[in-house]
Amino acid sequence: MTCSACRAALSARLDGEPSHTSAEETGAGRHLAGCADCRDWLAVAQRLRELARSAPGPSPEWTRSLLAGVLGLEAPPVDRCG
């Protein structure tokens, strides 16, 4: 299994996608056993997933500002009344 195929299988696993085949899972496991680069990649991907899941969502103000910046508009005032 190539690094690219291994990382695709691992990414799918991290995203909760069902495994395509048991051979793919076995191949990814074997590849990980012998590839330090893919083990490092997996550790970083797992940490990123943990950070993303634990991060608070953006505020309404942040969202308005981002959309205004993307659209090239001035950010509208924040409606504090609801």
Q: What is the pLDDT along the chain (82 residues), one digit of tens a residue?
A: 899 999 999 998 898 887 667 777 788 899 999 999 999 999 999 998 888 888 777 788 877 777 777 887 665 555 656 5
Number of domains in the chain: 1
Does the CA dihedral 14-16-17-21 come out positive or negative? positive
The answer to whether residue 65 is domain-embedded is: yes
Domain residue limits at 64: 3-71
Q: Are 1 and 28 in contact (CB under 8 A)?
A: yes
Does the CA dihedral 30-31-34-36 come out positive or negative? negative
The answer to whether residue 80 is domain-embedded is: no
The answer to whether residue 41 is domain-embedded is: yes
The answer, as to whether pTM is greater than 0.75, is: no
The answer to whether residue 76 is domain-embedded is: no
The answer to whether residue 29 is domain-embedded is: yes
